[in-house]
Amino acid sequence: MSSKRCEGIGVSPGVVSGRAVVVERGVGDVPERLLEPNDIEAEVTRFDQAIDAVRSELGSVERRAGREVGEELARIFDAQKLILDDRSFVETIRSRIRDDRRNAEAAVRDVANGLQARFARIDDSYLRDRGADIETLATHLLRILLGQEALRLDHLEESVVVVAHDLSPAETATLDREHVLGFVTDAGGRTSHTAIMARSMEIPAVVGTHDATLHVQTGDRVILDGAEGVMIVNPSAEIEAEYEQKRSAYEDRESVLAAMREELAETPDGLRITLQANLESVRELEGAHRHGATGIGLYRSEFLYLRADGELPDEEAHFEEYRAILQEMGPAQVTIRTMDLGGEKSLPTALRAAGDNSLLGLRGIRRSLHDADIFAVQLRGLIRASAYGNLRIVLPFVTELAEVLEARKCIDAVAADLRQSGVAFDEDIPIGAMLEVPAASLIVEQLSDHVDFFSVGTNDLIQYLLAVDRTNDAVADLYEPLHPGVLRVLNAIATTAREREIPLCLCGEVAADPLTAMVMIGLGYEDLSMAPGSIPVIKNLVRHLPGGDARRIAREALALRTAAEVEEFALAELMAHLPDDFSVAG
Ligand code: PEP
Ligand code: MG
């Protein structure tokens, strides 16, 4: 059997090997029958039993997900439960069985197809995308009716490498960590939230292979290298031996890095770099401690909102979550971002009416200001929690100064209210703005008078500067963090923030890759925040890279004309400063 090499984007390091499980989305052909009148009621009962079975399976998946990744993420499955409880969906299928004498499978298929066609015609992109929830549910129902075993990625019997066309952030969050050795997808980019979750969960992963699912079958033996970004299907003995060596070198590297936990992130010429953790869930705090994060540079609070449709986290839910993080981190700085639902992160029903949450839509601070009451609930939770630690609040997706001023008014109003009620809180919570919209990055000077710090969100900033969708594998090659245009904007931000003496944190994925982190440090980014597992490899970089060299590298990079030139130059510099094994992203 000849081996096949599939290349993609290595987004979460580690070398693993095992049997592949290919995630099939469809259920194949659906049988159609005209029912005999006497069989109709039995068919309706069979359908009702399938509904009960789906409801109970969803409940147990949700409970398991709750244990693995927290309740907020687990509520993602509620969209499907809501459809199950919707009389128009279930009753329409029942009447298809009774009136048209269709078998249950055919009735489910007909009704789901009809609904999806109607959703596909809707203008609102959020609602249009809900057609996918109907398809997921219909597939689940059909599997049960057809007696097919569903592939349960959240509860696997043996250790496998998952190969899928795509995994949503929610599916990634609920992967069975004990048995999923790693995953490979056709779709996705380095900064998609699926990739971000893989790094947070420390599961080796390769995304953006375009067609890996075409080259592998369930049961094939595969090797996955999450740093190199390759999957090898049916490897020869020689290749197995080669990757076995890589695996053991990777493990050696990890133990060398782990031993640096207590070391300072200081360059050989004495420049101190702050290395903080990005979190999506309070559960990831353990990794942040284990890898030596000195604070939380970005807590993505929108994951709290991925709750039951029609419900929103109340003040207590916000307060409890934030207090837990602040208490756990003690005196260390914790930066919590107000919610930024957008792009591939779905939106609860209660927030939908006002518009979509697409990449250029009503997201981040725009939505918070639009729904001031909902914003106030989050702010009350945040401000109350400030009494328990060292909190900073950062506003996402800021585009202009007026948004910061208005958000500050909301914060002041909530603080005044709490003060009047005698609630204790920190009177000087630093308020910052994310710089991730190109226009905001061009008015740093104007924003400086009204914020206490900036957080540079390069994932989005690069996406919008280059007009390249960060989740789309077809344009993943065009997502170039070292594009001269990106470097100029990042240089201008750092220069102005330095002149204005405004603290600056960089929390996009460029902070986690030694190649780009080296250039960022040279540009003046000395506070970096990343997935916890990436901290050791960046600390190692810092300890080998004199600050003076970094500044020279950034200066020379700024003089180059193309992304390819910058990359080639930066790679040579990185190699000159670091031994081979330590130059890949952690
Ligand atoms: C960013 O855009 O760089 C960022 C840190 O936020 P997110 O990845 O959640 O969009
Ligand atoms: Mg962002």
pLDDT tens digits along 337-365: 999 976 556 555 455 545 556 778 888 99
What is the 8-class DSSP label of residue 302? G
| C-alpha 459 – ligand 1 centre gap (Å) | 5
The yes-or-no verdict on residue 86 having pLDDT over 90 is no
Mutate to test the pocket of ligand 1, among 191, 301, 441 (most ligand atoms within 8 A of CB): 191
| C-alpha 343 – ligand 1 centre gap (Å) | 11
Catalytic-labelled residue, pool 193, 318, 544, 577: 193
Third-level CATH fold of 4-26+151-254? Glucose Oxidase; domain 1 (3.50.30)
Q: Using CA positions, which residue lies closest to atom 9 of ligand 1?
A: 300
Q: Using an 8 Å Cβ cutoff, are 390 and 326 in contact?
A: yes
Third-level CATH fold of 37-146? Enzyme I; Chain A, domain 2 (1.10.274)
Ligand 1 within 6 A of 436 CB?
Answer: yes
Atom number in ligand 1 closest to CA 507: 5
Lowest mean pLDDT among 28-37, 38-47, 441-450, 557-566: 28-37
CA distance linking residue 253 with residue 539, whole number of Å: 13
Instruction: Single out the residue of 563, 395, 364 nearest to residue 481, CA to CA.
Output: 563
pLDDT at 353: 47
Ligand 1 within 6 A of 195 CB?
Answer: no
| C-alpha 458 – ligand 2 centre gap (Å) | 7
The yes-or-no verdict on residue 150 having pLDDT over 70 is no
The yes-or-no verdict on residue 73 having pLDDT over 70 is no
Ligand 1 within 6 A of 300 CB?
Answer: yes
| CB-based burial, 131-163: b 16+ in 10 Å, e otherwise | bebbbbbbbbbbbbbeeeeebebbebeeebbbb
Q: What is the average pLDDT score of the chain?
A: 89
Q: Using an 8 Å Cβ cutoff, are 79 and 89 in contact?
A: no
pLDDT at 222: 96
pLDDT at 325: 96
Of residues 283 and 320, the one with the higher pLDDT is 320
CA distance linking residue 23 with residue 310, whole number of Å: 31
pLDDT at 271: 98
215 is known as an active-site residue: no
Percent of the chain with pLDDT strictly greater than 90:
63
What are the backbone dihedrals phi and psi of residue 384, each rounded to the nearest 5 degrees, phi first? -60, -40
Mutate to test the pocket of ligand 1, among 336, 434, 528 (most ligand atoms within 8 A of CB): 434
The full set of domain ranges for the chain reads: 4-26+151-254, 37-146, 270-580
Instruction: Single out the residue of 284, 294, 290, 379 nearest to residue 330, CA to CA.
Output: 294
Residue 126 pLDDT grade (very low, low, confident, very high; cuts 50, 70, 90): low
The yes-or-no verdict on residue 560 having pLDDT over 90 is yes
Q: Using CA positions, which residue lies closest to atom 4 of ligand 1?
A: 457
CA distance linking residue 280 with residue 301, whole number of Å: 7
Q: Using an 8 Å Cβ cutoff, are 395 and 407 in contact?
A: yes
193 is known as an active-site residue: yes
Give per-residue pLDDT as tens, 160-181: 999 998 887 667 877 888 889 9
**DSSP SS3 for 59:** helix
Lowest mean pLDDT among 89-103, 160-174, 386-400, 478-492: 160-174
CA distance linking residue 309 with residue 437, whole number of Å: 29
> Counting beta carbons within 10 angstroms of the beta carbon of residue 255, is it exposed (0 to 12), middle (13 to 18) or buried (19 or more)?
exposed
pLDDT at 19: 94
Give per-residue pLDDT as tens, 193-215: 788 888 888 899 999 999 999 99
Ligand 1 within 6 A of 510 CB?
Answer: no
Q: Using an 8 Å Cβ cutoff, are 569 and 557 in contact?
A: yes
Strand-pairing partners, residue 333, are: 390
Third-level CATH fold of 270-580? TIM Barrel (3.20.20)
pLDDT at 564: 96
pLDDT at 308: 43
The yes-or-no verdict on residue 568 having pLDDT over 60 is yes
Mean pLDDT of 247-253: 90
Residues in the chain, overall count: 586
Atom number in ligand 1 closest to CA 457: 3
Instruction: Give residues with Cβ within 8 angstroms of 46, minimum separation 6.
Output: 104, 145
| C-alpha 465 – ligand 2 centre gap (Å) | 13
